[in-house]
Amino acid sequence: EDAVHGALSAALAIQERLVPLQEDVRKTYGLEFRMRMGINTGVVVVGAIGRDLRMDYTAVGDTTNLAARLLSLAKPGQIVVSQRTQRIREGFFVFEDLGEFQVKGKTDPVRAYALIREIQGRTRLEVSKERGLTALVGRDAEIQRLRQTYQRAAGGDGAIVLLAGEPGVGKSRLLYEFLRRLDGSGAVELETTCASYGQAMAYRPIVEVLRRYLDLRDGVSGDEIKNRVAEQLRFLGFEGDEPAILLAYFLGVSAPPEFLSRVSGPVLKERTLRTIRDVFLRMSEAGPVILIVENMHWVDTASEEFLAYLAGSLPGHPILLLLTTRPGYAPPWLAAPQAETITVEGLSEGDLQGMVRTLLVAKEVSEQLFKILAEKSEGNPLYVEEILRQLMETSGIVVEKGEARLARSDVTVPATIHDIIAARIDRVADELKQTLQGAAVVGRRFGISLVSRILEEAPELVAGHLRELHALDFVFPSAHEPELMYSFKHALTQDVVYTGVLERRRRKYHASAGLGLEELNAGRIGDVVELIGYHFSRGQVWDKAARYLRQAAVKAQRRSAHREAVTTFEEALEALRRLPESPETREQDIDVRLELRGSLYPLGEFEKMLTYLREAETMAGAISDERRLGLACIHAAEYFRQTGRFAEARTLAEKALTMGDKLQDVPLQSYAGQYFALSCHALGDYRRASNLLRTVTRAPQPEGWTGALGMVASWDAHQAISHAWFARCLAELGEFDEGVDAGRRAVALAEGLEMPYSLTAACLGLGYVSLVKGDLEVAGPVLERACRVAGDANITLLRPQATRLLGSCYLLAGRIEEGVALVRAAAEEVESKRLLMQEASVLALLAEACLFADRVAEAAALAQRALSIAGERGQRGDAAALLHVLGETAARDSVSIEKAEHHYLDAIALAAELEMRPLLARGHLGIGRLYLCAGDHDRAEEHLLAAKRLFAAMDMPLWLRHVASLLSELGVPKE
């Protein structure tokens, strides 16, 4: 019941009842008998007297302590209440402000009030936050709008309707009536719901609706699922094996390893979602489809992403997407005109009258009763239903001569729906209440087998209890396969029951639910691994919670549901923290942190990723686990490389390689070698980088290769990326024959994988080596392909690289305007996305682009800025290129000859030191041109001939033609 109102009323009633007793004591003993009372409101720690199924308890804690202090402040015969109590019922009772008092145990003064009397006849609804179904009254307009939208959708236009309303206002009941009136229309109706506990369970409602469509009952084997999926997809007209593999894998059935090894996570996700979308679209070819998703305010990120994707394909298909939500949920993809929102309001006074008369089977409702119902319900059908039920169960209503009225004037209606339901629950028999509690722990929908395991009762006994609870309108049968399933009539009922279970009992029930799910799903644990982890976590069975939550996170990660994966990995870490320290838990602690990298990296949460990697590194070092320490070092090295801290990246990668060599761990050696090479490349040590990558690319695939935690598992993907970077390193060194071979090998490997990241990286490798060589006929198409693949797959890290290199290719081909636009777009993306690793490189190319467009001042400013960045970060190769650009900009100014000479000579010296032969040759070409323009023909000839020899040795005909043109001006004969 309403605790505050009830307590205050009780105190006044006690005070009133004491009056006759006080007279007796005065007459008999000559004494004044007065009682003082103190009342406070708040959370208390409750200890059950007997069993916790009844409301018999003793309460302790700060709330009761303050009540005792207030009691000591009261004068004889006075009732003193706290400020919190007074605020809750202000307007319903008269209080006298007694001022502030210093009480024991409180730092700040406490304001106290004296309770004087109750103000009769006032009530106020305390807003309930839960939902439920009520009798349908006054919804003709909403039904008509739904029918019109359905007819439009059924005609092939496709449509989306969002039903929005407060909990209990009747959204589900409205849907039920709408669908009932469509019976016989031939529409396929598919329904699913989002759960409050399911927001970390990727695709839960989508999996649920697919299982219903495919008639996959709980307990079916993986082979049965594969057969059913294949059969249904053939019926829908799908061709080939891939759609069936994807859909079965989505439903928790293992996919062939060779299939997974050649498809990256993003591609797997894109193809899977496309297949699921096509299932709905092809289903609609046979007739209208109504897809219902309830409680969208609880939708998980991955499911919402799919629904938005599906919504974009509805035009032209007879599909009605019906969603329900509470107020406040309004994502952009559900904005008009894409979707129509129907707001379900409370009932009007006339509709409320009709509903009450129907429920009470009465012709009239007394003014007093209706006033209470109207004030307390505010037209919410669920609240009306629950208030009436509470009044009828307590004999608070009588119906005489067709009129319903209150049975007595002192009837008090609880002010909150939570209190009403709690009071109803408390009135049922203990054994029924215990069954309700076990069911509430399972969830909104539950089966007899699992509840009986939780309660340790015979299934027949539990089934009997559930039949009684159905008769009492708490639950209803909701499915019959693979066994009789029940659901709570209202989500609020489940919540109230659940919160009423003592923590100790709740933990026990959750643990039993986890064990029951293990037993009932033996052989197909993967289907329910999220639920098992959920129950073991709340049951504080920490070892099993850690194991299953980790499996659930990996499952989400493989679906590219990275946000849900991070949440679940972190829950697994919390479970591991609760376990006693042991070698096994320490290893799991490290492994989960390494696996987190696999989801945090694509989400771009680099700082959080580094925190976990540092923790993994410290933990691995503490237990002298060099393999795990090496993996942590590799991941941290890549973080530092991406954020422009290249020296730190090199140190960590080299440390990991040393560990791999010591352990003779092939995956560790191979990954560490690759990342060590990448950091050397960033620092301009192209010779060392190429030697490292030569070793990596020539290594044979080891037997039983599975990759390493947080790394790409495919050997071919790893090799494709390694070959691509090998080509880029060799391009800087001018070793083009080997470089082009490496680039072609990278593309060939990547084309067999269908992984956008690997294919983009491979195209960049071949495209870059061809671009530096001056082979624009090869570079152009390959770099265009890289741009296309990176753009389609939204590969943030590689897209600006592809864009800037294609722009550079266009510049050399004479397509100046297009080239400048592409390089500038790449620079803007690098800046907006904070891709620090690429800053100096993209600014260097933008400076060159500005020179092509005769924007000399802008080119000089950009090159100077980039040189400063490269210097700070140790990017010596980029610095050499930028010195060359500064030489080019100064050479355009006739008064800056010495400055240009200085920059060219610095660039030549650094390029020679770094063995950057193509840049060295271009440096000689640039300074030779400078001397030619200045009239210093001897030095011009010296440098131009040096450039010619280098270009010829590297077989760079495009650049040889530039040199030949200048030498002809000098009169140097052709050889």
Considering the domain architecture, whether residues 278 and 316 belong to the same structural domain is answered as yes
Cβ-based neighbour number of residue 182 at 10 Å: 17
* pLDDT exceeds 90 at position 706: no
Residue 47: pLDDT band with limits 50, 70, 90? very low
Cβ pair 324, 295 in contact under 8 A? yes
- Is the residue at 961 inside a domain? no
787 closest CA partner among 769, 809, 770: 809
* pLDDT exceeds 90 at position 74: no
Residue 518: pLDDT band with limits 50, 70, 90? very high
Residue, of 463 and 368, whose pLDDT is higher: 463
Predicted local confidence at residue 92, as pLDDT: 73
* Contacts (Cβ under 8 Å, ≥6 apart) of 703: none
Percentage with pLDDT > 90 across the chain: 57
Considering the domain architecture, whether residues 104 and 151 belong to the same structural domain is answered as no
Q: Which of 103-117, 204-218, 674-688, 752-766 has the highest mean pLDDT?
A: 674-688
* pLDDT exceeds 70 at position 62: no
Burial (Cβ within 10 Å: 0-12, 13-18, ≥19) of residue 903: buried
Query: What average pLDDT does range 263-279 have in this prediction?
Result: 89
pLDDT digits over 420-440, tens only? 677 778 878 999 999 999 999
pLDDT digits over 310-330, tens only? 999 999 999 999 999 988 888
Predicted local confidence at residue 692, as pLDDT: 98
DSSP-based three-state secondary structure for 95? strand
- Name the one residue in this structure whose structure tokens are 């800046």: 831
* Contacts (Cβ under 8 Å, ≥6 apart) of 321: 159, 160, 161, 291, 293, 307, 310, 311, 314
Q: In the numeric block, which tokens belong to residue 708? A: 């390493």
CATH number at residue 193: 3.40.50.300
Mean pLDDT of the chain: 88
Predicted local confidence at residue 684, as pLDDT: 97
Considering the domain architecture, whether residues 246 and 386 belong to the same structural domain is answered as no
Considering the domain architecture, whether residues 306 and 269 belong to the same structural domain is answered as yes
- Is the residue at 259 inside a domain? yes
324 phi, psi to nearest 5 deg: -120, 150
Give the pTM: 0.66
DSSP-based three-state secondary structure for 712? coil
Considering the domain architecture, whether residues 97 and 183 belong to the same structural domain is answered as no
How far apart CA 968 and CA 956 sit, in angstroms, is: 18
CATH number at residue 105: 3.30.70.1230
For the chain, helix, strand, coil in percent to 5 are: 65, 10, 25
Beta-strand pair 485-488/475-479: antiparallel
Considering the domain architecture, whether residues 177 and 57 belong to the same structural domain is answered as no
Residue 133: pLDDT band with limits 50, 70, 90? very low
690 closest CA partner among 659, 657, 732, 656: 732
How far apart CA 366 and CA 348 sit, in angstroms, is: 17
Angle at 210 between CA 206 and CA 215, to 5 degrees: 150
DSSP-based three-state secondary structure for 831? helix
Predicted local confidence at residue 27, as pLDDT: 87
- Is the residue at 654 inside a domain? no
Cβ pair 63, 107 in contact under 8 A? no
Considering the domain architecture, whether residues 153 and 228 belong to the same structural domain is answered as yes
Considering the domain architecture, whether residues 306 and 164 belong to the same structural domain is answered as yes
Q: Of 84, 118, 152, which residue sits at a domain end?
A: 118
- Tell me if the bond preceding 257 is cis, omega within 30° of 0: no
DSSP-based three-state secondary structure for 162? strand
Considering the domain architecture, whether residues 155 and 280 belong to the same structural domain is answered as yes
Domain count, the chain: 3
How far apart CA 349 and CA 354 sit, in angstroms, is: 9
How far apart CA 403 and CA 66 sit, in angstroms, is: 47
Cβ pair 86, 96 in contact under 8 A? no
932 closest CA partner among 886, 954, 963, 953: 963
Predicted local confidence at residue 197, as pLDDT: 66
pLDDT digits over 764-797, tens only? 999 999 999 999 999 999 999 999 999 887 788 8
Considering the domain architecture, whether residues 245 and 377 belong to the same structural domain is answered as no
- In angstroms, what CA-CA distances link 168 with 165, 255, 371, 380, 765? 8, 43, 20, 6, 60
- Is the residue at 737 inside a domain? no
- Is the residue at 77 inside a domain? yes
Q: Of 392, 422, 452, which residue sits at a domain end?
A: 422
Which amino acid is present at 935? G
- In angstroms, what CA-CA distances link 928 with 488, 879, 897, 903, 967? 86, 21, 12, 13, 9
The domain of 408 spans: 361-422
Predicted local confidence at residue 7, as pLDDT: 87
- Tell me if the bond preceding 482 is cis, omega within 30° of 0: yes
Considering the domain architecture, whether residues 333 and 376 belong to the same structural domain is answered as no
Angle at 506 between CA 504 and CA 509, to 5 degrees: 115
* pLDDT exceeds 70 at position 913: yes
- Is the residue at 561 inside a domain? no
* pLDDT exceeds 80 at position 804: yes
The region of weakest confidence among 26-35, 216-225, 405-414, 447-456 is: 405-414
Cβ pair 129, 165 in contact under 8 A? no
Label residues 566-598 b or e (16+ Cβ within 10 Å = b): bbbbbbbbebbeebeeeeebbebbbbbbbbbbb
How far apart CA 151 and CA 327 sit, in angstroms, is: 26
664 closest CA partner among 620, 626, 709: 626
Considering the domain architecture, whether residues 319 and 377 belong to the same structural domain is answered as no
How far apart CA 57 and CA 229 sit, in angstroms, is: 54
* pLDDT exceeds 60 at position 559: yes
Residue, of 892 and 87, whose pLDDT is higher: 892
Predicted local confidence at residue 632, as pLDDT: 92
How far apart CA 275 and CA 286 sit, in angstroms, is: 18
C-alpha 26: how far from chain center: 72
* pLDDT exceeds 90 at position 700: no
* Residues belonging to the chain: 975
Query: What average pLDDT does range 711-731 have in this prediction?
Result: 89
- Is the residue at 722 inside a domain? no
* pLDDT exceeds 80 at position 231: yes
pLDDT digits over 615-649, tens only? 999 999 999 999 999 999 999 998 999 889 999 99
* pLDDT exceeds 70 at position 749: yes
- Is the residue at 913 inside a domain? no
Q: How many helices (H) does the chain have, and how many strands (E)?
A: 42, 17
Q: Of 56, 84, 118, which residue sits at a domain end?
A: 118
Angle at 612 between CA 607 and CA 615, to 5 degrees: 125
